[in-house]
């Protein structure tokens, strides 16, 4: 066991991802020995990201009212969860949230809107808001997450000052039809490609705990690797009452750590962010998660609340880690097609 672990860690340090068999082996690592896995894989985290933690803040720009049927989502047309529903937030509200995000040390502001994809009018309005935010907080990286993009929309966002576009693959191609019937996996990959093609930094990750098998976890990890994202958010399902996945509870803190360890090895020098479900599923093991991932969301998620920002900062400092400043590079070295570094050094 130790030999295989040393081999996959050495491979990642040389930027070689594990094989499919090694990836599956990692997911079957004995739960009671997961700290051994974390300790070994943390070498990769320290090698490429040192002791820095990138903080990100989320703003739910438009909530609920979505015609899609993603089973995990409280904002879908089939969800009966009692969430707030509202159309796009106004400029002043977003500026206020941006100010709070900067105060909390966030380097990236993720502006997320529910829905299949934005209308032309919504994109224009969004672009106007981004221009205002960027003129007041030029150092803040703006990431847009607006769903499936139509031709030309990514370019409009880029022109307005949007830095990155988030569109998660969520799960494997084979498992996708089990979680959504109103759009398919290819709609997702196409949007990531559109964002990349327009020069936006691609942000794409996954959601675990929906009943997927180890093979699906590995499939989505390698599918994401193939599209070369600059940042990879890892979500753990919060089974919200009123959604079809309300009763789903197959995640343990150890399982989450194994998934994070796998993603660290598949993406040794790419931002891996612990996103939704951190507090619920990692629980007291959250600090171990930060020995694998180099980025987290500070504050609340889309329709659920997160840990208080002060507690996150305390956890980071107790680990001997520091919050990454706006001037520092997240990606440690230039990679082919990596938009982020080119922009930083440009
Ligand atoms: S498209 Fe987005 S907002 Fe709509 S149901 Fe799916 S995840 Fe939720």
pLDDT digits (tens, 9 = 90+) for 119-148: 999 999 999 999 999 999 999 999 999 999
- Provide Rg for the chain, Cα atoms: 19
User: DSSP character for 86?
Assistant: B
273 among known catalytic residues: yes
Give, using CA atoms, the residue closest to atom 3 of ligand 1.
114
Query: Which pLDDT belongs to residue 182?
Result: 94
Q: Which of 70, 145, 180, 256 does the annotation list as catalytic?
A: 70
CATH of 2-321, one of 3.30.70.580, 3.40.228.10, 3.60.70.12, 3.20.20.70: 3.20.20.70
Rounded Cα–Cα distance for residues 49 and 119 (Å): 38
pLDDT single digits (tens) 299-346: 766 666 666 888 899 999 999 999 998 777 776 655 434 333 333 332
CA 345–ligand 1 middle distance (angstroms): 35
The structural domains of the chain, with segments of one domain joined by +, span 2-321
Q: For ligand 1, atom 6, which residue shows the shortest CA distance? A: 70
Helix, coil or strand: residue 100: helix
- CA 328 to chain CA centroid, Å, is 19
CA–centroid distance, 113 to ligand 1, in Å, is 9
Q: Is 335 a catalytic residue?
A: no
| Separation between Cα atoms, residue 7 and residue 179, nearest integer Å | 35
Please list every protein residue whose CB sits less than 6 Å from any atom of ligand 1. 66, 68, 70, 73, 75-76, 114-116, 147
294 CA to centre of own chain? 11
Q: Note the pLDDT tens digit of each residue in 166-196.
A: 999 999 999 999 999 999 999 999 999 999 9
Q: Which residue, 178, 170, 255, is CA-closest to 221?
A: 170
231-247: pLDDT as tens digits: 999 999 999 999 999 98
Ligand 1 centroid–CA 140 distance in Å is 26
Of the listed 45, 97, 180, 203, which one is catalytic? 203
Q: Which atom of ligand 1 is nearest to the CA of 69?
A: 5
Ligand 1 atom with the smallest distance to the CA of 73 is: 8
* pTM to 2 decimal places: 0.92
Q: Report the chain's terminal Cα–Cα distance, integer Å.
A: 45
Report pLDDT for 150.
93
**What's the rounded Cα separation, in Å, for the pair 205 and 297?**
14
| Among 210, 223, 217, 242, residue whose Cα is nearest residue 75 | 242
Catalytic site residue 256?
no
């Amino acid at each position: 066991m130790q030999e295989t672990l040393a081999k996959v860690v050495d491979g990642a340090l040389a930027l070689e991802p594990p094989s499919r068999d090694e990836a599956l082996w990692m997911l079957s690592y004995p739960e009671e020995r997961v700290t051994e896995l974390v300790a070994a894989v943390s070498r990769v985290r320290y090698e490429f990201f040192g002791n820095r933690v990138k903080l990100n803040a989320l703003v739910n720009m438009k909530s609920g009212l979505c015609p899609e049927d993603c089973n995990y989502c409280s904002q879908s047309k089939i969800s009966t969860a009692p969430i707030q529903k509202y159309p796009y937030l106004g400029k002043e509200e977003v500026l206020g949230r941006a100010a709070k995000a900067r105060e909390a040390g966030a380097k990236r502001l993720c502006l997320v809107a529910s829905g299949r994809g934005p209308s032309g009018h919504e994109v224009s309005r969004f672009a106007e808001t981004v221009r205002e935010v960027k003129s007041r907080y030029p150092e803040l990286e703006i990431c847009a997450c607006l769903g499936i993009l139509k031709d030309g929309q990514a370019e409009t966002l880029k022109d307005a000052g949007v830095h990155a576009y988030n569109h998660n693959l969520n799960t494997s191609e084979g498992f996708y039809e089990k979680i959504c019937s109103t759009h398919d996996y290819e709609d997702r990959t196409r949007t990531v490609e559109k964002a990349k093609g327009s020069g936006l930094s691609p942000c794409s990750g996954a959601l675990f705990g929906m009943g997927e098998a180890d093979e699906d976890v590995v499939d989505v990890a390698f599918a994401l690797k193939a599209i070369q994202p600059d940042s990879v958010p890892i979500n753990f399902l919060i089974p919200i009452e009123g959604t079809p996945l309300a009763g789903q509870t197959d995640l343990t803190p150890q399982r989450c750590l194994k998934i994070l360890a796998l993603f660290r090895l598949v993406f040794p020098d790419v931002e891996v962010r612990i996103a939704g479900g951190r507090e619920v599923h990692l629980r007291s093991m959250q600090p171990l998660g930060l020995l694998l991932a180099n980025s987290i969301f500070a504050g609340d998620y889309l329709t659920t609340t997160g840990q208080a920002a002060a507690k996150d900062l305390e956890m980071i400092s107790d680990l001997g880690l520091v919050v990454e400043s706006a001037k520092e590079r997240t990606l440690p070295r230039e990679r082919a097609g990596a938009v982020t570094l080119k922009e930083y050094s440009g």
